[in-house]
């Protein structure tokens, strides 16, 4: 009789924790990602559909921007959340291709789902995908076309074409000629070393048509809160001197509950007189500096407003930090926290300043700025939803132009680049033995989802189009892609000026492959027990703590 010790049961996770593992869990994760892909794939391409999303507060968003849709979907499946991350990363890094990266990641997982069901190890698939990803990226860099900036006219034309391609699938496609020029001018107005897109201010004014949108090569911001006396101030200046302050010009009660004790009425009057004297000293110093436009991040009260009006000086208080920083970048000068010792080099200048009515709002415009490293887009449209989608579309185009300026390499869009890389990977896979051949071929097939989905969304026969594209690429037509304008559905998209920065494709392939490999490497999902909500009677203890408390009461 054996009396060997029996291994005790070890409870590692607390009661209520849900664990799922094995091949079934991996396939479940893949299915979740494919479901997300199915939701977003119809928005791809120039004829993609929009999505209407309503959040928990009832706010409506209409968009076909991949990053916006993924953010608003409120995905709860833990594996599918990785697709939200890659869409956001693509939007932050490149600005466009957010739908493509999600669709491609879902297709990469869909292609290997059969291998997983047949028992192929995920590690073998991950190894093959990483190899194929590196080959694809290297090939995109090899075939990309570089346009040198030495030829300024050709370079600007390239920026226009890239911006137009970014807008081709957006709501503003019908006015892409108008907005393309606006976007390129806006990006070229920035500091070409930094190219900080945040310095392009975007203001939205409901009403009017899209064609009434304006590009201000300088700064524009909405008229701030004003006091009595404001309307007496001049609203237009030529070559003004501009003072930017972080100073409060207002009589107000003491802060922090300050307490002042006085014995005589004359002492109280001395305190009041001192407050008036302090603010008048500030105002006199500002007038003596020669400034004709005074802006401040802090309030400018009614006393100061009337004082400036009597001396033909314009003032605006409570200007936002972003706007006042952009004013300083455009007109020069510096932000001052004191009104004393103001010299000419502390003041900015521009050719003209005016307060202008735009739609139902009044805007302060600074134009003809000598150091204009910033600009402002004032967008018009019939509804807030419409203007918000125009803003998202312009953001994508601005990011594309910015990346094109930095990288200066382009590829053809419309699925042409994906088909060429797919052909290259198929040919390479035939030189590899074993399972890796099938996995690299699966990666090549997954790339074809982009032209296939563009064709489907345009109402074309996707199978017929793909067969034509495979034949054309096999014959050496490197940039053949889907075209919704030609009769047979295909065209040389480099000649058709459907251009995209090579960085969009490189980043999309990298991100999609990494997301697919990440999901394939997960073999178990552990979900902790949800915390219980407190009842109306007060805070509720966790179940285990409640049971221990009851046992303790029983012993007493």
pLDDT tens digits for range 527-555: 776 644 444 444 444 444 444 443 444 44
Query: Averaged over 48-52, what is the pLDDT?
Result: 87
Three-state DSSP at 521 gives: coil
pLDDT at 61 over 80: yes
**d(C-alpha 211, C-alpha 394), whole Å:** 14
pLDDT at 526 over 80: no
pLDDT at 132 over 90: yes
pTM of the predicted structure, to 2 decimals: 0.78
How much is the pLDDT for 169? 77
What fold is seen in the domain 17-146+412-528? GROEL; domain 1 (1.10.560)
**d(C-alpha 520, C-alpha 38), whole Å:** 19
347-375 residue pLDDT tens: 988 888 999 888 888 999 998 887 778 88
Angle at 119 between CA 118 and CA 125, to 5 degrees: 100
pLDDT at 475 over 60: yes
- Residue 423 φ/ψ, nearest 5 degrees: -60, -45
**d(C-alpha 293, C-alpha 434), whole Å:** 75
Q: How confident is the model at residue 468 (pLDDT cuts 50, 70, 90)?
A: very high
Judge whether 455 and 483 are in contact, CB under 8 Å.
no
Residue extent(s) of CATH 1.10.560.10 domains in the chain: 17-146+412-528
**d(C-alpha 175, C-alpha 160), whole Å:** 13
pLDDT winner (highest mean) among 208-217, 226-235, 270-279, 454-463:
454-463
**d(C-alpha 478, C-alpha 493), whole Å:** 10
How much is the pLDDT for 552? 45
Three-state DSSP at 72 gives: helix
**d(C-alpha 337, C-alpha 443), whole Å:** 59
How much is the pLDDT for 293? 92
Closest CA to 414 of 525, 325, 491, 502: 491
**d(C-alpha 212, C-alpha 358), whole Å:** 10
Task: Give pairs for 268-275: CB < 8 Å, separation 24+.
Answer: 275/251
- Token pair for 475: 């014959």
**d(C-alpha 68, C-alpha 225), whole Å:** 32
65-105 residue pLDDT tens: 888 888 888 888 888 888 888 888 888 888 788 889 999 99
Three-state DSSP at 240 gives: coil
**d(C-alpha 454, C-alpha 456), whole Å:** 6
Q: Which is more confident, 204 or 256?
A: 204
How much is the pLDDT for 543? 45
What fold is seen in the domain 152-217+378-407? GROEL; domain 2 (3.30.260)
Angle at 162 between CA 161 and CA 163, to 5 degrees: 90
* Residues designated catalytic: 65, 98-99, 396
How much is the pLDDT for 200? 87
The whole-chain average pLDDT of the chain stands at 84
Q: Which CATH superfamily is domain 219-371 in?
A: GroEL (3.50.7.10)
Residue extent(s) of CATH 3.30.260.10 domains in the chain: 152-217+378-407
Residue extent(s) of CATH 3.50.7.10 domains in the chain: 219-371
Judge whether 474 and 423 are in contact, CB under 8 Å.
yes
Q: How confident is the model at residue 514 (pLDDT cuts 50, 70, 90)?
A: very high
pLDDT winner (highest mean) among 63-67, 80-84, 108-112, 224-228:
108-112
């Amino acid at each position: 009789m054996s009396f060997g010790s029996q291994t005790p049961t070890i409870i590692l996770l607390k009661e209520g924790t849900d664990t799922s593992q094995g091949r079934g869990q991996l396939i479940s994760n893949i299915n979740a990602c494919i479901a997300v892909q199915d939701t977003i794939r119809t928005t791809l391409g120039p004829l993609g559909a929009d999505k209407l999303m309503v959040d928990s507060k009832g706010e409506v968003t209409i968009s076909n921007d991949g990053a916006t849709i993924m953010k608003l979907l409120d995905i709860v499946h833990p594996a599918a959340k990785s697709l939200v991350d890659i869409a956001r990363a693509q939007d932050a890094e490149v600005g466009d291709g957010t739908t493509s990266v999600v669709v491609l990641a879902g297709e990469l997982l869909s292609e290997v789902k059969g291998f997983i069901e047949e028992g192929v190890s995920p590690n073998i698939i991950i190894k093959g995908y990483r190899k194929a990803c590196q080959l694809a990226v290297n090939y995109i860099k090899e075939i990309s076309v570089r346009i040198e900036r030495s030829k300024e006219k050709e370079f600007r034309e390239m920026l226009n074409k890239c911006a137009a391609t970014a807008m081709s699938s957006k709501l503003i496609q019908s006015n892409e000629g108008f907005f393309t020029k606006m976007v390129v001018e806006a990006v070229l107005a920035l500091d070409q070393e930094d190219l900080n897109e945040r310095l392009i201010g975007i203001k939205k004014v409901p009403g009017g048509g899209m064609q009434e949108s304006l590009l201000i090569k300088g700064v524009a911001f909405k008229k701030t809160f004003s006091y009595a006396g404001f309307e007496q101030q001049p609203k237009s200046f030529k070559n003004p001197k501009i003072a930017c302050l972080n100073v409060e010009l207002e009589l107000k009660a003491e802060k922090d509950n300050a307490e002042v004790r006085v014995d005589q009425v004359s002492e109280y009057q001395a305190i009041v007189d001192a407050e008036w004297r302090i603010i008048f000293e500030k105002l006199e110093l500002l007038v003596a500096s020669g400034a004709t436009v005074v802006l401040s991040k802090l309030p400018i009260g009614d006393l100061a407003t009337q004082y400036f009006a009597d001396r033909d000086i314009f003032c605006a208080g409570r200007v936002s930090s972003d706007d006042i920083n952009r004013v300083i970048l455009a007109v020069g000068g510096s932000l001052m926290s004191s009104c004393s010792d103001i010299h000419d080099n502390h003041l900015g200048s521009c050719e003209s300043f005016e307060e202008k009515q735009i739609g139902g709002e009044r805007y302060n415009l600074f134009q003809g700025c000598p150091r204009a490293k910033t600009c402002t887009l004032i967008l018009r449209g019939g509804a807030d939803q419409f203007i918000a989608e125009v803003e998202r579309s312009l953001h994508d185009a601005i990011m594309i132009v910015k990346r094109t300026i930095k990288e200066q390499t382009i590829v053809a869009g419309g699925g042409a680049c994906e088909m060429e890389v797919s052909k290259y990977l198929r040919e390479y896979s035939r030189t590899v033995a074993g399972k890796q051949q099938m996995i690299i071929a699966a990666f090549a097939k997954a790339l074809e989802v982009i032209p296939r989905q563009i064709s489907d969304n345009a109402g074309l026969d996707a199978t017929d189009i793909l067969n034509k594209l495979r034949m054309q690429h096999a014959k050496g037509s490197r940039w053949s892609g889907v075209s919704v304008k030609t009769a047979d559905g295909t065209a040389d998209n480099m000649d058709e000026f459907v251009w995209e920065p090579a960085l969009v494709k490189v980043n999309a392939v990298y991100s999609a492959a990494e997301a697919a490999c990440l999901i394939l490497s997960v073999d178990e999902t552990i979900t902790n027990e949800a915390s219980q909500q407190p009842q109306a009677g007060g805070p509720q203890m966790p179940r285990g703590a409640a049971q221990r408390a009851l046992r303790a009461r029983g012993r007493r």
